Structure 1
């Protein structure tokens, strides 16, 4: 991996899904870029339009989290929160294609297709479309992360299950992942919610235990080309 692009539906998904990996790659000298697609707050307002104060706070939290993880300052999309199914898929694909053109990443991390959240599903699909393996395309590796309180909440049979086959040791960066998650104070929940500090740590410890290390983040490999 040389240049990494994390494409997340909402601010905080990047930290929940691959924050420890981002921190590890940044410490290894890799350029880690982050981009969001939806505004992340509009669905909490009856009109669907984001409250500007809430939007500013969420974006500040995202910038702070990326700084903690050693990533570059993120780019923000303004597509409607939890309403990406109201946007032509082509428009989202073109937004992602522009990001790829700007950053020329060889590796992209994004959502798993089976998440309960509709925005996660459509970001996954848009990334896959934008990364069609054509000659000269820079992306050689696609990795799909799990998002606590979305991936595991999908009911059996409604979508493909998350069955990880790629693990990154984050034993040395788990603390940074938790610090970054705490930047999103308004998004965290008390234990035993999976989006609690304890839930985030327990998942990393469990994923680590399945492959014999203290803590990992788990992914599904979508494509890998040497």
Structure 2
């Protein structure tokens, strides 16, 4: 019996050693040690209003861990999407002409899961925003800020759109322009605009593994903005997975966002893909 117990202990230690070694290796592959890790998006413990301003239902998944942290901290979430995402993949679950309404219902489930105070899904054309004037998105940004009076705003970046999506860029640029024009004014409520970004190491890995990045990430220019900080999200990985499942039609998209998730043990994966990166827009 003692020999069996010793063998079990040795086996456990070997497996644990392999797991921790994999985690250490994976973190080194994905994360830059020079980028600070913050405990929360902002230091204010008084409930704050946070506006999410995105192009498509499911764009929030890129910061799903942070959103669950904000929920846990008692902050208020207001979610605005400019399209229904009607031109995305269907997952063979609905007809293409039914996708917009299906994604709207999926997004409603996610908003309820996050305890969002409000959800608005507008009806601008999915994958057609690049044909609209930037002034339109500036006006929508103004309307939503005036309506919800947020303390903070989260968008994608305005130069790449995370992986090169023009819809992302247009929506984020509209909010950025409006923010830069009004920050510092007495009646402007927004304290900081945060843009979702990636670490340089994440970008390099994504360009090797993710077809969406390979197709769309710009070959020239500065690329994604350098992160100012990251948020550690391992405690919220389970909640993130639930949110992803609610977007049932978009599982193909998530394989780009979290490659090999189904092939790596969850304990290990949640500790490698363990943070979300943000850039603070400056005037």
Give the TM-score normalised by structure 1.
Answer: 0.80
What is the aligned counterpart of 1:95 among 123, 140, 146?
140
Q: Conserved in 1, the CA contact under 8 Å of 2:87 and 2:99?
A: no
Offset of residue 181 of structure 1: 1.1
Greater percentage in strand: 1
Offset of residue 195 of structure 1: 5.0
Q: How does 1:153-172 map to 2 (within 5 A)?
A: 153-172=216-235
Is 1:128 matched up with 2:176?
A: yes
Q: Conserved in 2, the CA contact under 8 Å of 1:65 and 1:183?
A: yes
Q: Distance in 2 between matches of 1:219 and 1:203?
A: 21
Q: Conserved in 1, the CA contact under 8 Å of 2:89 and 2:250?
A: no
Q: How does 1:51-70 map to 2 (within 5 A)?
A: 53-70=98-115
Q: Please identify, of 100-109 and 169-178, the stretch whose mean Cα deviation from structure 2 is larger.
A: 169-178
Offset of residue 205 of structure 1: 3.9
Q: Distance in 2 between matches of 1:64 and 1:97?
A: 27
What per-residue deviation string (whole Å, max 9, x for no partner) do you get for residues 65-84 of structure 1?
12222323410111111111
Q: Distance in 1 between matches of 2:97 and 2:118?
A: 20
Is 1:74 matched up with 2:125?
A: no
Report the counterpart of residue 32 of structure 2 in structure 1.
Answer: none
Report the counterpart of residue 212 of structure 1 in structure 2.
Answer: none
State how many pairs are aligned: 211
Q: Conserved in 2, the CA contact under 8 Å of 1:93 and 1:127?
A: yes
Q: Distance in 2 between matches of 1:174 and 1:129?
A: 33
Is 1:117 matched up with 2:165?
A: yes
Q: Which has the larger radius of gyration?
A: 2
Report SS of the residue matched to 2:220: coil
Q: Distance in 2 between matches of 1:151 and 1:179?
A: 24
What is the aligned counterpart of 2:245 among 182, 200, 215?
182
Q: Conserved in 2, the CA contact under 8 Å of 1:188 and 1:196?
A: no
Q: Distance in 2 between matches of 1:191 and 1:75?
A: 23
Report SS of the residue matched to 2:107: helix
Distance 1:185 1:217, change over 3 A: same
Q: Conserved in 2, the CA contact under 8 Å of 1:69 and 1:177?
A: no
What per-residue deviation string (whole Å, max 9, x for no partner) do you get for residues 157-176 of structure 1?
24523422221222222211
